[in-house]
Structure 1
Amino acid sequence: MNLNNRNIAIILFCIFVVMSGYGVLLPVLPYYTERLALKSGVVADEDINYHIGILTSIYPFFQLLFAVVWGKLSDRFGRKILIVMGMLGFVIMQFLTGLATSLTMLYVARILGGIFSSSVIPVGNAFLSDLTDRTHRRKVLAWSGVAVSAGVIAGPMIGGFLAQTNLHFSTTFGHFLLDKFSVPFLVIALLGILILLVTLAWLKNPENNKSGTLLQAQKSKLKVGLGFMLLLSLSLVVQLAVTLFETVFSVYAKDILTFGTSQIGLGFMLCGLIMAVLQPVFASLDEKKVSIKAQLLFGFGIASISMFVFSLWNSDMYVYSTIVAFAIGGAMVTPNLIAMVSFIDQDHTGTNLSLQTSMNSIGQVAGPVLGMWLYTMDKTWPFPFIGVVLLLVAVMVVPKLNYKIKRA
């Protein structure tokens, strides 16, 4: 099999840039929203916090609505055009966000970003699936997970570093000022333009996803079986657990552990770094020695135990160790779930992976809300709750997985 390394590299860079754009917002959004809210006449803290919450969740909400649409279109008309549209929408979102002068403009930017950038990851993963066979697919899709994790790590670092000072430019046309909270988004937009130009120039559709794809997709109807539904439910649970933990950890670390921002940042960095490093390692394991189902069982089990014991002690090393264990479990689960979804139906890979992305988006929307509700009930409840959910999934759902590959 001849792996198209150039195509794979371009797709991985697209995914990395999109996830960096997601991450760059995290350290900046509260301050940026507050400034725009004050300009718009919103002065009450609870109203500002309300807008921050809505702006955070509106992005995955529109991803949820449109991811399947893009996946179906990519199965019909090819992957490249949808990836180009997604990157173009991503660039427009970053520019609009960086140049926003009102909350309304910021909302428009986030909605457009959720609509268009939702195509990049699922369609990119479908593209990678088109380029690989069963033997290599898990490894390549694991590198997609690395690109996601690396973007999650790099984004907040870029945002925190660039949002330090205003930029002043004196020209013959006058003096220009770039607000410090706008700079990270404009830099990411320029990076997005660079990757967009590379994509237009060098990315080529795989041969099995060109002119014949439209006719093939029209003749072959998508069949959703129990195995596929179970995989989607697993994806939802994983994303719910991860986003719930991420949301609650930062508040819990500030209130209970008395961590500073650097200590909280170290926790997130460790989680992303472990995920990035170990996903290719687990995806490279021989299925004959360690089956995919066995890896899922181990992954859910390790993540579950780490959450059960997370709040027992408050020392830095103990907290970081449990975070590392949680990340190890996630690294076992994530690439294998993506690979199993891609194996189900070779005629509808884009649609299937987009449905998985929609499930992830539901988890991203519900996780923070559920986590903070549990936190208001008792500050330690969210962690054993995650542990119980992951344990139930490992015991009740994973053993029932029995999928067959439908080939063209």
Structure 2
Amino acid sequence: MEKKKALPILFAVMFLVMSGFGIIIPVIPFYAEEIGASPAQLGFLMAIYSLMQFLFAPLWGRVSDRYGRKPVMLIGILGLSLSFFLMAISSELWMLFVARIIGGTLSAANMPTAMAYVADITTEENRAKGMGMIGAATGLGFIFGPAIGGLFSQMSLSTPFYVAGSLSLITSLFVLFVLKESLTSEARNKQGKNRPSLFSAFKGTTSILFILNLFVSLSLAGLEATFAYFAAQKAGLSTAQLGLIFMIMGFGSAIVQGGLVGRLSKKYGEGAVIQGGIIVSIIGMALILLMNSFTTAAIFLTIFGMGNGAIRPAISSMLTKTAPSGHGNITGLLSSFDSLGRIIGPPLGGFLFTISIGFPYISGIILSVFALLLYQVYKTKATTKNSLEA
């Protein structure tokens, strides 16, 4: 039976987690610069977090299959809190790097565990809806978090880190006393006896979905890394205008993930949602090349964000349906591919931008087309496999 009450609680948890993370986003560059970081060192500081998540997300997902979602989620949130407080008291650059390494290593537990939790408490019919709600919570957190961080940064550059750390502590208490464990003792014991290998999810036709997700992540990361420069040159947009544009995009993406993905998946299937999301994101990225004002930038980026936002929940839902158990193993590996995209995407986008300001978006379109073709390959192989089994 579906545990309907648990999903809104998990939504609140992930919103608070991502709000805390979002608080420090607008402050980190200035804080690191104040301590003495060069632009190159700042790049490494940002990348090391994603690298740790790439390495540890599959491990945490696997641990949650064995010991339960709640304790692993607590580790992730408390680890995030610790990293924020360590950053707040950092007086040397190496201290910031230590804090980011700790934060990336431990907080890598949050997203795969949350997605595995959704897989535990939802029926296959409503799986995409649950995954979409997690995506919406994440998106909304990234909208409100930076606004809060910008406000508290007026007091001092270290204040947002204390606020983020405190919010994460409060969130951990909420998880401890309100969120119920989703993985039964019977399920944990069963998985303990028949534990799949760490990369068992990455095999056969399902491996195609992981690669598809990587392409989607690469195109998004490349856009995020270069859009500020692109918009400034194409339309003369200010930092404040860019912040508002990303907020509008975030709301559009959250609406799609929280309200439409579940309904469309139930009616047409996750495959149709993945294909539709890729097509819409291609259209949005192509239109971005034509932007010439604040209005066109906001509209075109929101179109891209709505298409891109539909893809990940549908992929998560489809992948978790491929196995009756070991959902943490699957979602951990999926999160790892997301992180890999965030590691490779920004420097690749920056390099392409130096060649021509439109190249990151043209490459994003090409990657998305490849993703669309990959899904067709997956669909053909899955259909053939089902026919043979029948």
What band does the TM-score fall into relative to the shorter chain?
over 0.9
Find the partner of 2:260 among 282, 286, 292. Answer: 282
Query: Are 2:176 and 1:218 aligned?
Result: no
Residue in structure 2 matched with residue 392 of structure 1 by the alignment? 370
> Which residue identity is paired with 1:62?
M
- Alpha-carbon shift at residue 241 of structure 1 (Å): 1.2
**Alpha-carbon distance in 1 for matches of 2:38, 2:99:** 18
- Alpha-carbon shift at residue 288 of structure 1 (Å): 6.5
**Alpha-carbon distance in 2 for matches of 1:386, 1:14:** 32
Find the partner of 1:372 among 326, 350, 364. Answer: 350
Query: Are 2:114 and 1:136 aligned?
Result: no
Query: Are 2:147 and 1:146 aligned?
Result: no
Contact in 1 for aligned 2:132/2:261 (Cα 8 Å):
yes
> Which residue identity is paired with 1:321?
I
Contact in 1 for aligned 2:58/2:333 (Cα 8 Å):
yes
Query: Are 2:125 and 1:124 aligned?
Result: no
> Which residue identity is paired with 1:358?
S
- After the TM superposition, which residues 158-197 of structure 1 pair with which residues of structure 2 at under 5 Å, given as runs? 158-165=148-155, 180-197=156-173
**Alpha-carbon distance in 1 for matches of 2:292, 2:264:** 38
Compared CA separation, residues 294 and 262, structure 1 to 2 (3 A): same
Contact in 1 for aligned 2:83/2:103 (Cα 8 Å):
yes
Residue in structure 1 matched with residue 66 of structure 2 by the alignment? 76
Query: Are 2:309 and 1:331 aligned?
Result: yes
What RMSD in Å do the two structures reach over aligned CA positions? 1.9
Contact in 2 for aligned 1:130/1:209 (Cα 8 Å):
no
> Which residue identity is paired with 2:308?
G
- After the TM superposition, which residues 24-173 of structure 1 pair with which residues of structure 2 at under 5 Å, given as runs? 24-37=23-36, 48-165=38-155
> Which residue identity is paired with 1:29?
I
Compared CA separation, residues 313 and 140, structure 1 to 2 (3 A): closer
Contact in 2 for aligned 1:271/1:324 (Cα 8 Å):
yes
Contact in 2 for aligned 1:64/1:358 (Cα 8 Å):
yes
> Which residue identity is paired with 1:197?
L
Residue in structure 2 matched with residue 202 of structure 1 by the alignment? 178
Contact in 2 for aligned 1:75/1:209 (Cα 8 Å):
no
> Which residue identity is paired with 1:78?
G
SS in 2 for 1:205: coil
- Alpha-carbon shift at residue 202 of structure 1 (Å): 2.6
- Alpha-carbon shift at residue 313 of structure 1 (Å): 3.8
Q: Structure 2 unaligned runs (5+)?
A: none
Residue in structure 2 matched with residue 15 of structure 1 by the alignment? 14
**CA displacement, residues 274-303 of structure 1 (integer Å, 9 cap, x when unaligned):** 111111232232557423212211111111
Compared CA separation, residues 288 and 109, structure 1 to 2 (3 A): closer
**CA displacement, residues 172-202 of structure 1 (integer Å, 9 cap, x when unaligned):** xxxxxxxx11111111111111111121123
**Alpha-carbon distance in 2 for matches of 1:389, 1:62:** 25
Same amino acid, percent of matched pairs: 30
**CA displacement, residues 299-321 of structure 1 (integer Å, 9 cap, x when unaligned):** 11111122123222412222222
Moved more, 70-79 or 284-293: 284-293
- Alpha-carbon shift at residue 13 of structure 1 (Å): 2.8
Compared CA separation, residues 350 and 48, structure 1 to 2 (3 A): same
The structure richer in helix per residue is 2
- Alpha-carbon shift at residue 118 of structure 1 (Å): 0.7
Compared CA separation, residues 131 and 290, structure 1 to 2 (3 A): same
Compared CA separation, residues 378 and 287, structure 1 to 2 (3 A): closer
- Alpha-carbon shift at residue 400 of structure 1 (Å): 2.2
- Alpha-carbon shift at residue 87 of structure 1 (Å): 1.1
Moved more, 93-102 or 364-373: 93-102
**CA displacement, residues 34-90 of structure 1 (integer Å, 9 cap, x when unaligned):** 1111xxxxxxxxx61011101111111100111111111111111111011111111
> Which residue identity is paired with 1:379?
I
Moved more, 216-225 or 184-193: 216-225
Residue in structure 2 matched with residue 303 of structure 1 by the alignment? 281
- Alpha-carbon shift at residue 212 of structure 1 (Å): 4.5
Moved more, 107-116 or 291-300: 291-300
SS in 2 for 1:347: coil
> Which residue identity is paired with 2:143?
I
Compared CA separation, residues 99 and 398, structure 1 to 2 (3 A): farther
> Which residue identity is paired with 1:326?
F
SS in 2 for 1:93: helix
**Alpha-carbon distance in 2 for matches of 1:388, 1:110:** 33
- Give 1 or 2 for the bigger CA radius of gyration: 1
Residue in structure 1 matched with residue 320 of structure 2 by the alignment? 342
**Alpha-carbon distance in 2 for matches of 1:361, 1:229:** 16
Compared CA separation, residues 220 and 373, structure 1 to 2 (3 A): same
> Which residue identity is paired with 1:119?
A
Contact in 2 for aligned 1:293/1:398 (Cα 8 Å):
no
Residue in structure 2 matched with residue 351 of structure 1 by the alignment? 329
Contact in 2 for aligned 1:14/1:195 (Cα 8 Å):
yes
